[in-house]
Every structure is written in structure tokens, then in C-alpha cells.
Amino acid sequence: MSEVKIHEVGLRDGLQIEKQIVPLEKKVEWVEGLLASGSDMIQLGSFVNPEKVPQMADSDKLFSHFTQAGKKPSGAIFSGLVLNEKGLERGLACGVDMFCMGVSASDTHSRKNTGKSTEEAVGQIIAMAQAAMKAQKRIQVSIQSAFGCGFEGAIPQERIFSIVDRYLAAGIRNISLADTAGHAYPQQVESLYAEILQRDSQVELACHFHNTYGLGLANCYAALKAGVKYFEAALGGLGGCPFTKVAAGNVCTEDLVHSLQRQDMVLDINLDKLMETARDVGSFFNRDLPGSILKAGSLINFKKA
């Protein structure tokens, strides 16, 4: 349990759908707040076409600010999402520590997101992952829409496992299942992860849930029970894929951390400082964020019964 890691994706998945552009200086401020909270695994951005996702146009500059100016704390891991070879080149040039890349199990979502079929994308992503590993970078590969798709509905499990098998055959052992459309439910989560571990007990598992239908935290606990180590979440519950049918926010970082800390987990994260940054995000967008703990307050300081 002590190995559980929170992978903060608010700067990428949280912001990519927001129409109000966040200045680079404000992003730097939020990253500094996350670092001050003890968050050591932060996704700073994605290397995509700025015309399609304007919010990510300054990702190179944000990485460079921290990685090339001596402002990156020891032990911090800055991840970046890449969709193609050009994005990988950009990420390598500005100091990305861990490359996140993935394939959608939904052919419809894949074409909307990347312009490629699932089959075309798998080969490309595996080649990119191997190139990143050759450059001695950490990688994480994902299967998006793994629990269902807003366009296609239920995704056959054999489609998920065929992609997993190709990842494993390529020597890739850090695999995430992403609930892009928010269709996941706990029993399904446990079942899919259990099957992956049956295929390779040494694989490092990650999860990415959206709270579209209110099951985000429940799915996180199902993943925890199944042996997942890395949990992606976004400050305030921001986010949503612009290329899915019903976009909804991620699991809220403060809510997840608060819940886990009540069980004496992820105690290296300062929840108060994390909430300070989340409040500033809400102030910037001038609205209440979806997260619960910002509204209800923390129970961490209450004595356990």
C-alpha cells in the first residue's frame, strides 16, 4: 500500500478542455504549488497540435522552465503525453522524464483523437515507446476507452487484451487502463486488471478514471484492490477528453488523497497545500470545481473513532 503513487494530470487532462487559456506564468505557479504539496509525479502537458488543443501550446516552454533552468526538485517526475513521433521529439528536446502514450480500444474514438485506426495506432505507439526506452526515458502506455466508449458502447474484452498482449510482447511493463468515457464500474475494473496480472505478474499497473457517472472514487478503490500502483487524478476534478462524446472531469486529486490518507496512505502529500492550489485553480476559472473536499472540508485532522 505504501507504494501507491498519485500521478497529477490536472495541468494536461484537466486543462485541455478549458476554453480560457491559462498563461504560462500561472501554470508555473500551480506546478510550484503541487511540488510544495509533495506531489512528485506531475503531468505538465501534451505535445499535440496547438490548433486542435490551444491550451497545450506552451508545453515545451513549461517543461523547459523546470527541467532546463535548474528548478526541478530531486525525485520529481514530470510526465508528458505524446501522440506521434513529432511529439516524442519535442518531449525529448525539453526534458520530459516519463512519456505517456496510448491507443484507444475504440476505433471511433481513436480516429477522432489521433486520425488513426486502433490497429494503425498500436504499431506506432509501440515503436515510439521502444524509442523512448532506448533514450533511457520512463514510459507508460495506456489503453483508452478500455471500459467503454461514448460512441461504440461496450468494448469487447478480447480487444483490450489483444493490445495488452502486444505491449507485453514488446517488453513494455507499465500499462494504464483509461476510462475515457467514464463508463467503468468496480467489478469490471477488478476483472480487467486481474486478467492483466494473470498474463504478467510483474506488470506495473496504472489507472485513469473519469467521474462521468459518479463512480470515479469507487473505481479507484476497485483498482487498488486489484493491485494498481499508479492513480491519475486532476486538481479540483477538472478535465475531460475533447474527442469523446460526453466529456466529464477526472477523479479529483484532493478527494482521492483525502480518502487514502484516512487509511494512512499517501501521507507524503500535504493535503492542505494541495487544496490551496486547487482553490487557486477555481479562482482563476471563477467557478466552483467539482471536487468535494474543497466544499466540505477535510476530516484528516479529526481523531479517528
CA terminus-to-terminus distance, the chain = 22
Pairwise CA distance, residues 147 & 156, whole Å: 9
Q: Are 290 and 28 in contact (CB under 8 A)?
A: no
The distance from CA 285 to its chain's CA centroid, rounded to whole angstroms, is: 21
**Residue 45 clears pLDDT 70, i.e. is over it:** yes
Return the pLDDT at 247. Answer: 52
Pairwise CA distance, residues 102 & 81, whole Å: 9
Total number of domains constituting the chain: 1
Distances (CA, A) of 45 to 3, 54, 217, 300: 25, 11, 24, 31
Is residue 150 a part of any domain in this protein? Answer: yes
- Residues 2-8, mean pLDDT to the nearest whole number: 88
Q: Could you tell me the residue range of the domain that residue 118 belongs to?
A: 5-296
**Which class for 215: exposed (0-12), middle (13-18), buried (19 or more C-beta within 10 A)?**
buried
Pairwise CA distance, residues 295 & 283, whole Å: 14
Distances (CA, A) of 281 to 69, 72, 227, 277: 25, 22, 32, 6
DSSP state letter for 23: P
Return the pLDDT at 112. Answer: 75
Q: Are 142 and 196 in contact (CB under 8 A)?
A: no
pLDDT in tens, 252-294: 999 999 999 999 999 999 999 999 999 999 999 999 998 999 9
Global pTM reads 0.93
Q: Would you call 138 helix, strand, or coil by DSSP?
A: strand
Q: What is the DSSP string of 212-249?
A: TTS-HHHHHHHHHHHT--EEEEBGGG----TTSSS--P
Pairwise CA distance, residues 23 & 18, whole Å: 12
The distance from CA 286 to its chain's CA centroid, rounded to whole angstroms, is: 24
Residue among 100, 207, 241, 252 flagged as catalytic: 241
Q: Is 241 a catalytic site residue?
A: yes
Is residue 258 a part of any domain in this protein? Answer: yes
Q: 135-154 as b/e, with b when 16 or more CB fall inside 10 Å?
A: eebebbbbbbbbbbbbebee
Return the pLDDT at 128. Answer: 96
Is residue 301 a part of any domain in this protein? Answer: no
Is residue 106 a part of any domain in this protein? Answer: yes
Q: Residue 160: which H helix or E strand, with range?
A: helix 157-169
Confidence of residue 143 (pLDDT cuts 50, 70, 90): very high
Give the Cβ contact number of residue 82 at 10 Å: 25
Secondary structure tally for the chain: helices H, strands E: 11, 8
Return the pLDDT at 17. Answer: 86
Is residue 302 a part of any domain in this protein? Answer: no
Is residue 303 a part of any domain in this protein? Answer: no
Is residue 44 a part of any domain in this protein? Answer: yes
Q: What is the CATH number of the domain that holds 283?
A: 3.20.20.70
Return the pLDDT at 304. Answer: 46
| Selection from 24, 31, 55 nearest residue 240 by Cα | 55
**Residue 28 clears pLDDT 70, i.e. is over it:** yes
Q: Are 146 and 178 in contact (CB under 8 A)?
A: yes
**Residue 227 clears pLDDT 80, i.e. is over it:** yes
Is residue 226 a part of any domain in this protein? Answer: yes
Q: Would you call 79 helix, strand, or coil by DSSP?
A: strand
Pairwise CA distance, residues 140 & 11, whole Å: 17
Return the pLDDT at 1. Answer: 41
Q: Are 159 and 140 in contact (CB under 8 A)?
A: no
